[in-house]
Structure 1
Amino acid sequence: MTFIPRDNPSKFTLQGSNTYLVGSGPRRFLIDTGEGGRKAWTEALEKVLREEGVRAIEGVLLTHWHPDHVGGVGDVRGVCRRVFGGGGEEVEVEVFKNQSRPGQKGERGIVDGQVFRTADDDDDDGGTTLRAFYCPGHAVDHMAFVLEEEGAVFTGDNVLGHGTAVFEDLAAYMRSLEGMVGLFGRGAKADSAAGRAYPGHGEVIEDGKEKVREYIAHRKEREGQILDALKGLATGSAGRTAGQDDGGSDGQRSSSSMDVVKVVYKDYPENLWVPAEGGVVQVLRKLEGEGRVRLVENGNWKLAEGEKSSL
């Protein structure tokens, strides 16, 4: 496996978008393509393909739709044309993505559990096997890929090499993390790499299973903090900025998501409160789906009947 970093560092992409050329024989898979138009990356990919004697990219596997992962598909086709196309003629490159995009040339769908494999007579390792795992949350189409020969997992943006991931659906994200725990180390032939996580951004994680468990614990801790804040706001014990008395018959004050942010993130700089509010809303929606909180008419939040007993 060859790591090919993208030269697109930012506060959203960390040091840049990670891309991986997977396999050791003449036919390889490429996982993600980063942003488009990055000359240093296309030169690095071309150099690796030539130096390692790669004859074809078996397929480009995309973890999810975000531009910093799919934007370089056209660049890959250009590199393949130069490296494999002889006189520069077009070379077919198959691209695979869950919920494939209409009108995208050569793009095919991916289903949960789908297996991708290369096997070449001159591949000493007997080929490379990748198994897709559907894990929405960060994005609705998110896929991870298990490298069966190592028991390692390409985690995309569900698990990062630094910090925590953002998500668009917390309930789905938590279910995905729970499912990902069991992916690491399965069928591993190379003990040194068993359980390793190759993230979409950041450094390689040696113990992927433990990192996923840390993510789950962190999210549950934050969920508990938000629920406790809502309880304190409901009774006024969270301070004088506590929730609003909206005249309800249940004697419970309602609270806005920003009210909750000001309690949970009170020790953080105020300029971080607005970005934090999106995550708080995601937690509140998850709790609403579980019947633990409810959204009231003024757009604020209250505890559901089952949670009021703990006030």
Structure 2
Amino acid sequence: MATAHDPVDMPTGTLLQISPRVGRVLAPNPSPFTYTGTQTYLVGSDDLAVIDPGPADADHLAALLAAIGDRPVRAILCTHTHRDHSPAAAPLSAQTGAPIIGCAPLTLEDDGPRADAAFDPSYIPDRILADGEQVAGEGWTLEAIATPGHTSNHLCFALVEENALFTGDHVMGWSTSVISPPDGDMADYMRSMQRLLDREDAVYYPAHGDPVANPRRLVRGMMGHRKQREGQITRFLERHGASEIPAMVAQMYKGVDPRLHPAAGRSVLAHLIDLDGRGIAAEAEDGRWRLR
């Protein structure tokens, strides 16, 4: 769940080289959910892959084209299809001739209260990457790592040559990810986090926030945070009996920006659905939740 961090001033539209093979361009879409905005990554030097081209914003598209210059783009890759990640794929493909590769398309009518994280109905990939499949160019290789949870179609991309992982929204550099049913799934998210914990990546490049230099420590902390939140929910239900989600959010998210409470409710719902699946909690006909 997003914390009370506020977006900070960061330069948008400028290519920042952060490793020998990786540059990033920040989109001008800061918000309480996107932090400083969505970071589009350019991988390679002589030829490129573009990861998470970002929102449908003319200034951001122009900045990407300027950063690309006359270099060929071999692939445009999307980690998932929320509207701050994939809508620029089609116009960027039209300008560069590069194929759109990566996650499967996904559109839901009910995707929670976050307008900035609605699904992108325009996303049409030329190729869907299965777990373990690779895309390569001059001096770079990207491998798809299936990480469902934040969305069912979420992929991370491992940069083999630098032992780095582009984590999209699965692991962010400033906050935990919102898990919003019906597509967001807490059980899947925790399994995906365990999968990352079992890896040996040296650095994460998230779509929001700074690079993560000690990724396994962060993943352990995020998994512990989810377990703590689950414990809060079960203790709340033990003390108060059958309860509605807004009452839980008001108690458990004191001090958090109230604008984030609706999204917090989605994550609480995701925990409750997971607890239901494990036989620990159940929803009554009146919409209240209780322990079994």
Give the deviation of 1:215 after TM superposition: 1.0
Residue in 1 aligned with 2:104?
Answer: 99
How far off its partner does 1:105 sit?
A: 6.0
Residue 20 in structure 1 maps to residue 55 in structure 2: no
Please, which runs of 5 or more residues in structure 2 have no aligned partner?
A: 1-21, 107-120
| In the alignment, structure 1 residue 302 sits paired with structure 2 residue 290 | yes
Structure 1 position 136 matched with structure 2 position 156: no
Distance 1:161 1:12 in 2: 12
Kindly indicate whether structure 1 or structure 2 has the higher relative contact order, using CA contacts under 8 Å at least 6 residues apart: 2
Instruction: Look up the match of 2:214.
Output: 207
Pick from 160, 164, 173 the counterpart of residue 189 of structure 2.
173
Aligned residues of 1:157 and 1:200 also touching (Cα < 8 A): yes
For 1:1-311, what aligned pairs fall within 5 Å after superposition?
1-24=22-45, 26-39=46-59, 41-50=60-69, 54=71, 56-80=72-96, 92-100=97-105, 107-119=126-138, 127-167=139-179, 168-185=184-201, 195-234=202-241, 254-265=242-253, 273-304=261-292
The residue type paired with residue 35 of structure 2 is L
Code of the residue aligned with 1:299 in structure 2: it is G
Instruction: Map Cα deviations across residues 173-214 of structure 1 (whole Å, 9 max, x no partner).
Output: 1111111122333xxxxxxxxx11100111111112221111
1:288, distance to aligned residue in structure 2 (A): 0.5
Residue deviations 1:115-145 (CA, integer Å, cap 9, x gap)? 11114xxxxxxx2111101111111110000
Amino acid at match of 2:51: I
- Give the aligned residue type for 1:30: V
CA separation of 1:76/1:281 partners in 2, compared to 1, >3 Å: closer, same or farther? Answer: same
| Percent identity for Structure 1 against Structure 2 | 33
2-side partners of 1:273 and 1:28: how far apart?
A: 39
TM-score w.r.t. the length of structure 1 is 0.75
Q: Could you say which residue in structure 2 is the equivalent of 1:84? A: none
* Contact in 2 for aligned 1:93/1:106 (Cα 8 Å): no
Higher alpha-carbon deviation: 134-143 or 255-264: 255-264
- Residue by residue over 1:46-99, the C-alpha shift from the partner in whole angstroms, topping out at 9 and shown as x without a partner, is 33323xx62x1111110001111111113313542xxxxxxxxxxx31111322
Gaps of 5+ in 1: 81-91, 120-126, 186-194, 235-253, 305-311
Give the direction of change, closer, same or farther, for the CA distance of 1:260–1:48 in structure 2 (3 Å limit).
closer
Q: CA deviation at 1:100?
A: 3.9
Q: What's 2:118 paired with?
A: none
Give 3-state SS (helix, strand or coil) of 1:222's partner.
helix
The 1-side partners of 2:81 and 2:262 are apart by: 25
CA distance in 2, matches of 1:15, 1:259: 30
Give 1:4 shift: 1.4
- Provide the C-alpha distance between the structure 2 equivalents of 1:130 and 1:215, rounded to a whole number of angstroms: 25
Q: Larger Cα Rg: Structure 1 or Structure 2?
A: 1
Residues 262, 48 of structure 1: alpha-carbon distance in 2 compared, 3 angstrom cutoff? closer
Matched residue of 1:177: which SS?
A: helix
CA separation of 1:297/1:78 partners in 2, compared to 1, >3 Å: closer, same or farther?
closer
